[in-house]
């Protein structure tokens, strides 16, 4: 993605050949952020979500603003760096009250005139103005229960600066036993006098423990296990973030922690944290990620279109699903480029959700200016009809794997009967032949490719009878394999043309529906990579587990960001450069096969999410457990999927008890 410098009169962009480096606004340091905004002539009330996207190039910083280069060779700024070079901008001199790390001398910074953007009153102090946050256009309450952080919280502990913790949240942490911890506070740290138990005050709040003590000589002190962010224990936020961002559930972690007697936030606290901070952050991060993808796709489709594949994934087996996730993947990059979550109340039935998700996602792609030439799906009749009637200008292809799977299922059922048992040795060869026919037919939409595909497919009826040369349409045709030896010809269990097994096979090979489906298989497109993504979704949205809509959507977006970050992983190698493989024994094939071992996955997006969570917590305009700051569900999503109004609880209990009276 090409990044533009945020200074309006600067034309620098982050091309690969650019000499400049581009630097983020450090939102964890509000004063420094406001200095950057003032210096670059931007509105100091710029929303935090907008600041996430802004960068300033290195041309606006002095040489002594830079620290040593990072391991990747990039320039990094010192902790007190403020942009001070703005060619062509009206300037005013401002003396920063900090000192240069290199020289120790105060610096004068040339700031653009504030009159270009906003005129401040004489008594206005821009550094006293709080940063405004990006408020979601839709917030929806998920578990409105609120659990106070601590019923006995000590007011003195909130005096500890919150920024210290936010900057070092990724430092190492250990599990400490209570008895070992309290040994530290048995004697006074100043005079060594024994501290009585009644002189110790211990308060806890989830993961945080705060200890305040005094001794008989008048000495006192206090200690807490983690910093606080505006009165909230930082580790409570980190635990909640780790639970959701790694795809776990509170119930799983609570069971684990309860057995250890490890202190974590209460359930109601977790869900309030999730609704106020975690889910909004996921939504905002995904929006940034999706905008980058759309921008790249728009550039790719200038003068042409792309090939994509789509498939739906239900949240439970059978026809009783509550949610369907419909995803579109780019055939070229294998990235998930569009995903939609549909609740069953939006459609007429569970199966109808897939068609709704397909239409909604494709319309959003087309409306975003992304040209689509080819779409590959399964053989869903409703999607086939929709493509034929609404999107007739887009080539619709079927995945050969789905077609071959359906054919093999029918042939297997037929081969299990006595009269057709001669088909059993040929089942795998028949499905492989369909695969090969699609792969080698020519790969375009021309009539010649379709004719060649049908010709190659129906040639199985000659080959399976041991006939490898025949006449068709006045021309001599042959099989495409090498000539068989007499021994190979003799040992094969060929079918007889007058056998019941051959007639059954002919009925399936020449089936009108199958031959019609071949019209959509000439490009040899697949949805296998999309099926793998749906399998990886189980980490975040396990089937048979119920999630409310906002949580289900957030977890789906997490799976998209996880998948897209790990697209294109290379095969792992040993220290001497040899490619690595694993031996596996699939139950279906019942034979050992070698499978490539790939490099470990990366999840750097999680750290970015945690940073955003801490920044959102530091925003004073975001109120904890206030439904106004939740992500609201769309108006088409009902609170539940019940088809009748909720009855009176007492009446339902009475009716339930009355049925079992003796």
Integer Cα distance of 629 and 146 in angstroms: 14
Pick the more confident residue, 24 or 374. Answer: 374
Q: So what's the pLDDT on residue 636?
A: 84
Q: So what's the pLDDT on residue 350?
A: 83
Integer Cα distance of 660 and 662 in angstroms: 6
Q: So what's the pLDDT on residue 13?
A: 75
pLDDT over 60 at 431, yes or no:
yes
Tens digits of per-residue pLDDT, 498-553? 999 999 999 999 999 999 999 999 999 999 999 999 999 999 999 989 999 999 99
**Is the torsion defined by CA of 316, 317, 320, 321 positive or negative?**
positive
Torsion angles phi and psi, residue 338, rounded to 5: -160, 140
- What percent of the chain is modeled with pLDDT above 90? 59
Q: Is 343 helix (H, G, I), strand (E, B) or coil?
A: strand
What CA–CA distances, in Å, run from 40 to 66, 87, 98, 227, 271? 18, 11, 19, 33, 39
Tens digits of per-residue pLDDT, 266-325? 999 999 999 999 999 999 999 999 999 999 998 888 878 999 999 999 998 777 889 999
Q: So what's the pLDDT on residue 661?
A: 59
Q: Are 194 and 187 in contact (CB under 8 A)?
A: yes
Integer Cα distance of 464 and 452 in angstroms: 19
**Is the torsion defined by CA of 248, 250, 256, 257 positive or negative?**
positive
> Token digits for 11?
């034309």
Pick the more confident residue, 119 or 619. Answer: 619
Integer Cα distance of 122 and 320 in angstroms: 65
Q: So what's the pLDDT on residue 322?
A: 92
pLDDT over 60 at 116, yes or no:
no
Integer Cα distance of 597 and 548 in angstroms: 36
The region of weakest confidence among 123-127, 328-332, 352-356, 531-535 is 123-127
Q: So what's the pLDDT on residue 2?
A: 61
> Token digits for 384?
């086939």
Tens digits of per-residue pLDDT, 228-282? 999 999 999 999 999 999 999 999 999 999 999 999 999 999 999 999 999 999 9
Q: So what's the pLDDT on residue 409?
A: 94
Q: So what's the pLDDT on residue 117?
A: 37
> Token digits for 62?
């002095």
Tens digits of per-residue pLDDT, 209-228? 999 999 999 999 999 999 99
Q: Is 415 helix (H, G, I), strand (E, B) or coil?
A: helix
Q: Name the residue ranges covered by the structural domains of the chain.
A: 22-128, 155-280, 401-520
Helix 381-389, helix 352-367: angle, nearest 10? 30
Torsion angles phi and psi, residue 77, rounded to 5: -90, 155
The region of weakest confidence among 137-151, 372-386, 647-661 is 137-151
- Computed over every residue of the chain, the mean pLDDT equals 84
74 pLDDT band (50/70/90 cuts)? Answer: low
349 pLDDT band (50/70/90 cuts)? Answer: confident
Question: Longest Cα pair distance anywhere in the chain, in angstroms?
Answer: 113
Q: Is 233 helix (H, G, I), strand (E, B) or coil?
A: strand
Q: So what's the pLDDT on residue 75?
A: 66
Q: So what's the pLDDT on residue 653?
A: 87
Pick the more confident residue, 509 or 137. Answer: 509
Q: So what's the pLDDT on residue 270?
A: 97
Q: So what's the pLDDT on residue 148?
A: 34
Q: Is 213 helix (H, G, I), strand (E, B) or coil?
A: strand
Q: What is the CA radius of gyration of the chain?
A: 33
Task: Classify residue 527 by burial, with Cβ atoms within 10 Å: 0-12, 13-18, 19+.
Answer: buried
Residue in this structure with the two tokens 């909720």, named with its chain if needed: 646
Q: So what's the pLDDT on residue 659?
A: 59
pLDDT over 50 at 142, yes or no:
no
pTM of the model: 0.73
Q: So what's the pLDDT on residue 356?
A: 95
16 pLDDT band (50/70/90 cuts)? Answer: low
């Amino acid at each position: 993605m090409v990044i533009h410098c945020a200074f309006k009169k600067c034309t620098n962009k982050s091309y690969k050949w650019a000499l400049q480096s581009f630097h983020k606004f450090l939102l964890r340091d509000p004063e420094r952020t406001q200095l950057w905004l003032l210096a670059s002539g931007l509105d100091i009330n710029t929303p935090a979500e907008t600041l996430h996207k802004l960068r300033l190039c290195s041309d606006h910083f002095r040489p002594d603003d830079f620290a040593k280069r990072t391991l990747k060779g990039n320039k990094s700024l010192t902790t007190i760096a403020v942009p001070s070079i703005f060619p062509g901008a009206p300037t005013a001199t401002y003396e920063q009250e900090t000192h240069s790390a290199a020289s120790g001398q105060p610096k004068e910074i040339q700031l653009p005139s504030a009159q270009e953007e906003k005129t401040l009153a004489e008594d206005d102090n821009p550094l006293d103005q709080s940063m405004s946050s990006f408020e979601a256009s839709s917030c929806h309450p998920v578990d409105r229960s609120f659990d106070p952080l601590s019923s006995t919280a000590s007011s003195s502990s909130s005096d500890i600066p919150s920024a210290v913790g936010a900057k070092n949240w990724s430092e190492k942490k250990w599990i400490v036993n209570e008895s070992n911890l309290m040994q530290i506070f048995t004697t006074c740290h100043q005079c060594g006098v024994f501290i009585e138990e009644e002189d110790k005050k211990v308060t806890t709040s989830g993961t945080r423990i705060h200890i305040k003590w005094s001794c008989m000589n008048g000495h006192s002190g206090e200690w807490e296990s983690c910093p606080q962010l505006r009165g909230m224990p930082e580790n409570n936020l980190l635990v909640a973030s780790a639970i959701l961002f790694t795809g776990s559930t509170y119930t799983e972690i609570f069971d684990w922690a309860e057995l250890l007697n490890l202190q974590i936030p209460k359930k109601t606290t977790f869900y309030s944290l999730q609704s106020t901070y975690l889910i909004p952050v996921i939504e905002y991060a995904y929006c940034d990620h999706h905008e980058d993808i759309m921008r790249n796709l728009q550039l790719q489709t200038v003068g042409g279109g792309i090939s994509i594949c789509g498939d739906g994934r239900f949240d439970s087996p059978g026809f009783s699903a509550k949610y369907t996730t419909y995803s579109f993947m780019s055939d070229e990059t294998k990235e998930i480029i569009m995903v939609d979550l549909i609740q069953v109340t939006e459609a007429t039935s569970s199966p109808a959700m897939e068609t709704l998700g397909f239409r909604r996602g494709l319309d959003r792609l087309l409306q975003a200016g992304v040209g689509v030439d080819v779409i590959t799906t399964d053989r869903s009749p409703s999607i086939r009809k929709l493509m034929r009637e609404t999107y007739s200008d887009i080539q619709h292809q079927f995945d050969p794997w789905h077609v071959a799977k359906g054919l093999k299922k029918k042939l297997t059922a037929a081969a299990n009967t006595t009269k057709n048992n001669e088909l059993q040795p040929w089942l795998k060869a028949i499905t492989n032949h369909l695969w090969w026919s699609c792969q080698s037919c020519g790969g375009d939409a021309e009539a010649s490719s379709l004719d060649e595909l049908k010709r190659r497919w129906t040639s199985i009826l000659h080959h399976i009878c041991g006939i490898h040369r025949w006449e068709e349409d006045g021309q001599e045709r042959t099989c495409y394999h090498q000539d068989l030896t007499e021994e190979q010809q003799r040992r094969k269990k060929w079918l007889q043309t007058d056998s019941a097994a051959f007639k059954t096979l002919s009925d399936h090979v020449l089936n009108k529906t199958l031959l019609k489906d071949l019209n959509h298989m000439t490009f040899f497109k697949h949805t296998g990579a999309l099926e793998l993504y749906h399998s990886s979704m189980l980490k975040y949205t396990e089937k048979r587990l119920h999630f409310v809509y906002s949580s289900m959507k957030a977890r789906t977006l997490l799976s998209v960001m996880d998948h897209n970050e790990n697209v294109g992983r290379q095969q792992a190698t040993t220290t001497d450069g040899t490619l690595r493989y694993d031996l596996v024994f699939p139950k279906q094939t019942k034979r050992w096969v070698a499978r490539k071992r790939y490099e470990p996955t990366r999840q750097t997006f999680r750290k970015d999410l945690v940073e955003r969570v801490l920044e959102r917590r530091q925003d004073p305009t975001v109120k904890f457990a206030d439904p106004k700051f939740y992500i609201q569900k769309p108006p088409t999503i009902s609170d539940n999927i019940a088809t009748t109004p909720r009855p009176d609880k007492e009446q339902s209990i009475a009716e339930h008890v009355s049925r079992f009276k003796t």
